[in-house]
Chains A and B, each alone.
Chain A
Amino acid sequence: MNPFAVLGIPERFDVDLTSVEKQHRELSRALHPDRFAAAAPSERQAALGKAVEVNEAWRIVRDPIRRAEALLALHGVDMTEEGAPTADLEFLNEMLEQREALDDAKRAKDLEAVHKLAHAIEAKSKAVEAVLTEGFAREDYAALAGKVGELRYFRRFLDEVSAIEDELAA
């Protein structure tokens, strides 16, 4: 599935999410099962299938990681987890250090330190997204796979932060 085609939007990384969300909503309006409650089963099935596809496309496009993966896949770069290149050692070491700092903050129940670490990673994440925007504009696809891998590391880190927040709040 080409999520950009499903949503009827251009294939690019820097998308206007507000506008795409609107597009998704219009498509959902046309396809939602409620609209076909009184229709024949074949039609209900067809609408449901398309609605699922439209929702999946929106889920991909709204997420920078999955959006980048989809774009790279469209240009023949394998972006499944197995196909991704291994990140460079320096980056891995840095993430390892950040992880340890997060573990320490968690053990100390220091929510402020957790937030500080999270903000730093969020900033890095934004910077990498800017690099991706530029790279996609230059059509320099092969070099971008590693950057997407970095975003995945940041995502896992921030998921861990959310889990810690929940745990400390409870």
Chain B
Amino acid sequence: MALFEIFDPKAPARPIGIDLGTTNSLVAYVRNEKPVAIADCDLEVLVPSVVTYQPGGDVVVGRRAKLLASEYPRDTIVSAKRFMGRGADDPETRRLGPYAFVDAKAGEPNTVRFKVAGDRVVTPVEVSAEILRALKEQAEDELHHVGGAVITVPAYFDDAQRQATKDAARLAGLEVLRLLNEPTAAALAYGLEKKQNGTFVVYDLGGGTFDVTVLVLDDGVFQVRSTGGDSALGGDDMDRAIAHELLAALGFDDKRQTPQLVRLVLDESRKAKHALTTEESVEALVPGHDSVTVTRARFEELIKPILDRTGVACRRALKDAGLKADQLDGVILVGGATRVPAVRRYVAQLFGKEPLADIDPDEVVALGAAVQADLLAGEGRSDEVLLLDVIPLSLGIEVGGSVVDKVLPRNTTIPCSAKATYTTQEDRQTGFEIHVVQGEREMVADNRSLARFTLKGIPPMPAGLARLELTFHVDADGLLAVHAKEVTTGIEQTVSVKPSYGLDDATVEQMLLDALDHGEEDLVRRRVAENRVEAHRILLATHKALEADADLLQPGERDRIVAACEALEESARGEDPGRIHARIESLDDATKGFAGRRMNRAIARAIEGRRVDAVEKSVEHAKGIEEAHAR
């Protein structure tokens, strides 16, 4: 369910792109065909992804929250993104941070919960929603009316983490046009400016995540060949490596480290890291303690294991793409941590060429998201640019003996679907327990569990006779739905995969009501407004289709469609959201056959067009690569 502002014809809604980062977030939009980041009143574009919950109930976001961090270490949540979609018992969860966690009560979803000032309990989704709300307000100050948003996520984010990000956007009152993988966004930001064809690697070392993506740019199509990475590796780990060194040098063992001290030392470590980009050595000074010298050489030694871990992922991604390093046309750097000279050297050596870094590595993702938002909102050149993304991790189900049967392998282009058929193991088995998992390992326990559900009501049959047909369907956002059907009886069930440690719909709905402080009545008005906008959009699209492909209509079909249009128009003048919705569905029924025929025509044209200009295009393609090399 999308929630957007009541339609105001005077101020056109402007689509925005948001990079919801681990360390910093930012918002951008396309102005005069060029993406630009939106600055706050202090002319800063980076909003630290930090939220402080103050004792009085006030919530502070961004730079001010960052300043409050050492004063309120437990009430200030930094790097909330690391906790998105993670279970409270996930080992990653307790790895770092001075937070106070609240354990889930029996029967509650197993979500991470922080205990903050004033006995408030907040989830990572709510923390992220505060950041998104602040970004939305920043954008509104500049654009007045903000439309839908494209929000970027690491390519390596699993289903739970993507769903959590969408939930946060809903809480912040943002309509999500699309979740976009960060590396793809970066390539989009580069591609539009440079217009070159070829094969590229995006090396994205951010605050908390590492992603590597191999993509092919071809006449405006960005096709992801493979992705890899680590959702818990980044610049923060470099800070931690320095911090361990500082704490040891200052003589603190684990027991004597207070939350305040850890925070101070981490801040100091981050400053030292930044300084070492240009300096050969720095004096790290933790207030109230002796200063410690950190040389660049020592720093590079400390981060070597981090770089090596990125190297493993890079080699795997190249292998999955079926490529050798010398077949690459370029390497794009993304993420603040790629400013570290040792990282650039490592990348240059790994891929055998100097990486591209012309666009600010902190801004490039948000700029790409803005470009995509502009395209999706229909104001840009959607005919020219298209993203073909893949699923980052294999999806499968548990079969006998806790083994995973992969249904969709990683790096399959989305949207996609696949079927797999299974049978019963026991006589008179009346239910199928279906366990959906994500990951590459053979044993269920080594992968991430996404969902469990049971298909019930199958009549007792001898073992091996029942046939369970599972269909996995992944949409363009990379979100999975699983459809289960027992073929001999026709019993079926569809589940949108909502991970067990995420938030269920009812919880999100309740949070939404709480956060908006709207009554039922307001919600109905919103629904009417939303449905009306939807109705007008569909009417417009239908009229266009009737005009463009009138020859594809069957006798009487036009009359049926026109009648359904008129009925919809009539309902959209009323105030009953259910009635508008029902009429939208009837129009949809009336146009189904016509839509299918139009699609077949589009396909035939694509195949024909390719035959005619195949030669021409391959010449252009070759030229593009030449230009890329000459650059």
Instruction: Tell me if B610 and A43 are in contact (CB < 8 A).
Output: no
- Chain A interface main SS type: helix
Instruction: Tell me if B595 and A30 are in contact (CB < 8 A).
Output: no
Please report the C-alpha to C-alpha distance between residue A66 and residue B541 in the assembled complex, in whole angstroms.
39
Please report the C-alpha to C-alpha distance between residue A38 and residue B15 in the assembled complex, in whole angstroms.
14
B413 contacts A by Cβ under 8 Å: yes
- 21 inter-chain pairs at a CB distance below 8 angstroms, sorted by A residue, are A8-B610, A22-B610, A25-B223, A26-B609, A27-B607, A30-B603, A30-B606, A32-B388, A34-B386, A34-B476, A35-B382, A37-B376, A38-B378, A38-B541, A40-B542, A43-B545, A45-B592, A51-B415, A56-B416, A56-B417, A163-B441
> Which of chain A's residues have a CB closer than 8 A to the CB of B599?
31, 43, 46-47, 49-50
Q: Give A170 Cβ to nearest chain B Cβ, in Å.
A: 8
A75 contacts B by Cβ under 8 Å: no
Q: On chain B, which size bracket covers the interface?
A: 35 or more
A93 contacts B by Cβ under 8 Å: no
> Which of chain B's residues have a CB closer than 8 A to the CB of A47?
599, 602
Name the one of A34, A58, A165 contacting B376, with C-beta atoms under 8 angstroms: A34
Instruction: Tell me if A43 and B415 are in contact (CB < 8 A).
Output: no
Q: Give A94 Cβ to nearest chain B Cβ, in Å.
A: 23
Q: Give A128 Cβ to nearest chain B Cβ, in Å.
A: 18
Name the one of A37, A52, A59 contacting B473, with C-beta atoms under 8 angstroms: A52
Q: Give A23 Cβ to nearest chain B Cβ, in Å.
A: 6
B residues 205-225 in Cβ contact with A at 8 Å = 218, 220-221, 223
A28 contacts B by Cβ under 8 Å: yes
If A40-B588, A48-B415 are given as contacts, then 8 extra A-B residue pairs at C-beta distance below 8 Å, sorted by A number, are A22-B614, A27-B606, A29-B386, A31-B606, A34-B386, A37-B177, A40-B542, A40-B587
> Which of chain B's residues have a CB closer than 8 A to the CB of A30?
602-603, 605-606
A169 contacts B by Cβ under 8 Å: yes
Please report the C-alpha to C-alpha distance between residue A10 and residue B476 in the assembled complex, in whole angstroms.
29
Please report the C-alpha to C-alpha distance between residue A65 and residue B546 in the assembled complex, in whole angstroms.
43
Q: Give B590 Cβ to nearest chain A Cβ, in Å.
A: 8
> Which of chain A's residues have a CB closer than 8 A to the CB of B416?
52, 55-56, 59
Of listed A19, A22, A50, A54, residue having the most chain B CB within 10 A: A22
Please report the C-alpha to C-alpha distance between residue A163 and residue B596 in the assembled complex, in whole angstroms.
43
Instruction: Tell me if B592 and A42 are in contact (CB < 8 A).
Output: yes
A41 contacts B by Cβ under 8 Å: yes
> Which of chain B's residues have a CB closer than 8 A to the CB of A29?
220-221, 386, 606
> Which of chain B's residues have a CB closer than 8 A to the CB of A54?
603
Name the one of B388, B440, B473, B609 contacting A28, with C-beta atoms under 8 angstroms: B388
B563 contacts A by Cβ under 8 Å: no
Q: On chain A, which size bracket covers the interface?
A: 35 or more
Known: A8-B607, A40-B542. A169 touches B386 (CB 8 A): no
B residues 191-233 in Cβ contact with A at 8 Å = 218, 220-221, 223
B264 contacts A by Cβ under 8 Å: no
Please report the C-alpha to C-alpha distance between residue A43 and residue B595 in the assembled complex, in whole angstroms.
5
B470 contacts A by Cβ under 8 Å: no
Q: Looking across the interface, which residue of chain B has its beta carbon closest to that of A8? A: B607
Please report the C-alpha to C-alpha distance between residue A37 and residue B176 in the assembled complex, in whole angstroms.
12
Instruction: Tell me if A169 and B312 are in contact (CB < 8 A).
Output: yes
B138 contacts A by Cβ under 8 Å: no
B13 contacts A by Cβ under 8 Å: no
> Which of chain B's residues have a CB closer than 8 A to the CB of A169?
312
Known: A25-B218, A40-B542. A55 touches B607 (CB 8 A): no
Q: Give B596 Cβ to nearest chain A Cβ, in Å.
A: 5
A166 contacts B by Cβ under 8 Å: yes
Please report the C-alpha to C-alpha distance between residue A34 and residue B385 in the assembled complex, in whole angstroms.
10
Q: Give B391 Cβ to nearest chain A Cβ, in Å.
A: 11
Q: Give A22 Cβ to nearest chain B Cβ, in Å.
A: 7
Binding site for A on B (CB under 8 A): 177-178, 218, 220-221, 223, 312, 316, 319, 375-376, 378, 382, 386-388, 412-418, 440-442, 473, 475-476, 537-538, 540-542, 545, 584, 587-589, 591-592, 594-596, 598-599, 602-603, 605-607, 609-610, 614, 617-618
Please report the C-alpha to C-alpha distance between residue A46 and residue B415 in the assembled complex, in whole angstroms.
13
> Which of chain A's residues have a CB closer than 8 A to the CB of B378?
37-38
> Which of chain B's residues have a CB closer than 8 A to the CB of A38?
378, 537, 540-541
Please report the C-alpha to C-alpha distance between residue A37 and residue B382 in the assembled complex, in whole angstroms.
10
Closest 6 CB pairs of A and B: A30-B606, A8-B607, A42-B595, A43-B595, A46-B595, A42-B591
Instruction: Tell me if A55 and B413 are in contact (CB < 8 A).
Output: yes
A146 contacts B by Cβ under 8 Å: no
Instruction: Tell me if A32 and B386 are in contact (CB < 8 A).
Output: yes
**0/1 string, A133-170, CB within 8 A of B gives 1:** 00000000000000000000000000000110110011
Of listed A30, A51, A162, A165, residue having the most chain B CB within 10 A: A30
A74 contacts B by Cβ under 8 Å: no
Known: A38-B541, A40-B542, A163-B442. A23 touches B603 (CB 8 A): no
Q: Give A16 Cβ to nearest chain B Cβ, in Å.
A: 11
Instruction: Tell me if B541 and A40 are in contact (CB < 8 A).
Output: yes
Q: Looking across the interface, which residue of chain A has its beta carbon closest to that of B605? A: A30
Instruction: Tell me if A28 and B598 are in contact (CB < 8 A).
Output: no
> Which of chain A's residues have a CB closer than 8 A to the CB of B545?
39-40, 43
Of listed A8, A22, A41, A42, residue having the most chain B CB within 10 A: A42
Known: A40-B545, A40-B591. A31 touches B376 (CB 8 A): no
A33 contacts B by Cβ under 8 Å: yes
Q: Give A15 Cβ to nearest chain B Cβ, in Å.
A: 15
Known: A22-B218, A29-B386, A46-B595. A34 touches B375 (CB 8 A): yes
Name the one of A19, A26, A33 contacting B606, with C-beta atoms under 8 angstroms: A26
Q: Give B160 Cβ to nearest chain A Cβ, in Å.
A: 22
Q: Looking across the interface, which residue of chain A has its beta carbon closest to that of B418? A: A56
Please report the C-alpha to C-alpha distance between residue A144 and residue B66 in the assembled complex, in whole angstroms.
66
Please report the C-alpha to C-alpha distance between residue A33 and residue B475 in the assembled complex, in whole angstroms.
9
Name the one of A26, A31, A41 contacting B538, with C-beta atoms under 8 angstroms: A41
Please report the C-alpha to C-alpha distance between residue A51 and residue B595 in the assembled complex, in whole angstroms.
14
Q: Looking across the interface, which residue of chain B has its beta carbon closest to that of A45? A: B595
Please report the C-alpha to C-alpha distance between residue A163 and residue B316 in the assembled complex, in whole angstroms.
11
> Which of chain B's residues have a CB closer than 8 A to the CB of A41?
538, 584, 588
Instruction: Tell me if B417 and A26 are in contact (CB < 8 A).
Output: no
Instruction: Tell me if B598 and A163 are in contact (CB < 8 A).
Output: no
Q: Give A111 Cβ to nearest chain B Cβ, in Å.
A: 12
> Which of chain B's residues have a CB closer than 8 A to the CB of A55?
412-416
Instruction: Tell me if A46 and B221 are in contact (CB < 8 A).
Output: no
